[in-house]
C-alpha cells in the first residue's frame, strides 16, 4: 500500500545506489519527484525534475529545497574516509538543508542515518532505538550529528524528521553480517513511505532492516511510524553460510554492529 500525500518530494543522492532504487518507487508517493545529486546523472523522466546541488553550497541547497513538500535525504558522503569531505557534505551540508527547509516551510524530512551511529555495539546484543550512540567512524559521527541537528529543528521549529538507520540495502545479502542488517528494496520503500505518511512523526529514530531472524535491533519503540517489513534474509541464510567463512571473534570488524567500518582509518 502506498499512500500519496505529497505534491513534490525531493530525493537527494538520487544518483547513488539507493537513490536509483527510490527514484523508481518514490514516484508513487508524489505527483512530482525532484531528484538531486552532486553531479549530472542525466535528464529527468516523466514525473521527475532534476536539480543538481553540491550540499556544501548553501545557495544551491536553498534552491534545491524550495518548492517541495517533503525531503528524502540520501545525499552526502555515505562511506567512511577523511573528515573534510564529511564535514562539507554531511555536516555543513545538513545545516544548509535544514535551514532551507525552515525557510521554505518543508515540514517533514526522512534522513538517511546509519547503523554506524551505533556501530560499536556488539553483534551479540540487541539494542532499541534509545540506546546511546556509539559511532564507529567519522561517517558514523556525522550521522549522529544529523540526528542531533534534526532533533533541534523539531524542538525549535516543528520540522519532523525520521532518522532511518539504514542497515544494508542491497538486492540480497552477501555476507553473514548482512543476514542481520539486510533491508530489501521493497522494505526500504515501505519504510520510507511509512515515515512520509504516518500522521504524527515528531523526531523519530528507526532501524532500517527487513524482518530478519537474526537481528540486533529492536524497533518496538517506533511503532508510531507504522513500518511493517515483509521481507526476510532467512531465505539466503544457507547460501550465505555456505559461501562465507565463520567470523573471527577477535576481529571487531566481524563482531560489531558497524562491521568493517570499525577498523577503517586513520586517514
- Looking at the DSSP bridge assignments, the partners of residue 9 are 33, 70
CA-CA distances (angstroms) from residue 207 to 50, 66, 164, 183? 29, 29, 6, 10
Q: According to CB under 8 A, which one of 5, 52, 63, 174 is a site residue for a copy of itself?
A: 5
- Report, in angstroms and rounded to the nearest whole number, the Rg of the chain calculated over CA atoms: 18
Q: Is 139 a catalytic residue?
A: yes
- 97's CB contacts (< 8 A; 6+ apart) are 12, 55, 61, 65, 71, 73, 109
Residue 41 vs 95, nearer CB to a copy of itself:
95
Residues in 55-84 at the binding interface with a copy of itself, rule: CB under 8 A = 83-84
As a whole number of angstroms, the distance between CA 112 and CA 95 comes to 15
State the binding string over 87-126 for a copy of itself (x if CB under 8 A, else -): x---xx--x---x--x----x------------x-xxxxx
Query: Residue 29 is placed in which grid cell?
Result: 508517493
Residues in 204-223 at the binding interface with a copy of itself, rule: CB under 8 A = 204, 212-218, 220-223
The minimum distance between CB 54 and a copy of itself, in angstroms, equals 16
The minimum distance between CB 49 and a copy of itself, in angstroms, equals 24
The minimum distance between CB 204 and a copy of itself, in angstroms, equals 6
Which residue intervals of 88-175 are DSSP H helices?
Answer: 93-104, 138-157
Q: Out of 120, 121, 139, 185, pick the active-site residue.
A: 139
CB environment 193-232: b (16+ within 10 A), e (fewer):
bbbbbbeebebbbbbbbbebeebbbebeebeebebebebb
Residues in 122-181 at the binding interface with a copy of itself, rule: CB under 8 A = 122-126, 130, 132-138, 140-141, 144-145, 148-149, 151-152, 155-156, 158, 160, 176-177, 179-180
The minimum distance between CB 104 and a copy of itself, in angstroms, equals 13
Q: According to CB under 8 A, which one of 57, 247, 253, 260 is a site residue for a copy of itself?
A: 247
Task: Supply the DSSP symbol for 18.
Answer: H
The minimum distance between CB 24 and a copy of itself, in angstroms, equals 21
List active site positions: 139
Amino acid at each position: 500500500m502506498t499512500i500519496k500525500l505529497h505534491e513534490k518530494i525531493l530525493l537527494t543522492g538520487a544518483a547513488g545506489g539507493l537513490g536509483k532504487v527510490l527514484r523508481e518507487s518514490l514516484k508513487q508517493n508524489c505527483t512530482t519527484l525532484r531528484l538531486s545529486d552532486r553531479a549530472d546523472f542525466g535528464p529527468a523522466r516523466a514525473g521527475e525534475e532534476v536539480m543538481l546541488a553540491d550540499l556544501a553550497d548553501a545557495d544551491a541547497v536553498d534552491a534545491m529545497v524550495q518548492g517541495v513538500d517533503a525531503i528524502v535525504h540520501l545525499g552526502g558522503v555515505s562511506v567512511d574516509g577523511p573528515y573534510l569531505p564529511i564535514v562539507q557534505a554531511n555536516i555543513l551540508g545538513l545545516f544548509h538543508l535544514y535551514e532551507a527547509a525552515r525557510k521554505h516551510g518543508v515540514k517533514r524530512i526522512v534522513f538517511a542515518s546509519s547503523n554506524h551511529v551505533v556501530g560499536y555495539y556488539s553483534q551479540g546484543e540487541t539494542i532499541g532505538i534509545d540506546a546511546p550512540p556509539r559511532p564507529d567512524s567519522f561517517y558514523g559521527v556525522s550521522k549522529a550529528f544529523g540526528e542531533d541537528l534534526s532533533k533541534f529543528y523539531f524542538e525549535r521549529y516543528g520540522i519532523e524528521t525520521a532518522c532511518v538507520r539504514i542497515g544494508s540495502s542491497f538486492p540480497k545479502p552477501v555476507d553473514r553480517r548482512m543476514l542481520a542488517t539486510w533491508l530489501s528494496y521493497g522494505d526500504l520503500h515501505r519504510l520510507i513511505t511509512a515515515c512520509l505518511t504516518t500522521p504524527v512523526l515528531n523526531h523519530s529514530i528507526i532501524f532500517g532492516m527487513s524482518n530478519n531472524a537474526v537481528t540486533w535491533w529492536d524497533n518496538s519503540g517506533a511503532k508510531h511510524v507504522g513500518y511493517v517489513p515483509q521481507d526476510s534474509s532467512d531465505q539466503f541464510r544457507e547460501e550465505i553460510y555456505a559461501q562465507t567463512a565463520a567470523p573471527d571473534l577477535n576481529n571487531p570488524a566481524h563482531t560489531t554492529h558497524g562491521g568493517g567500518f570499525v577498523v577503517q582509518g586513520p586517514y
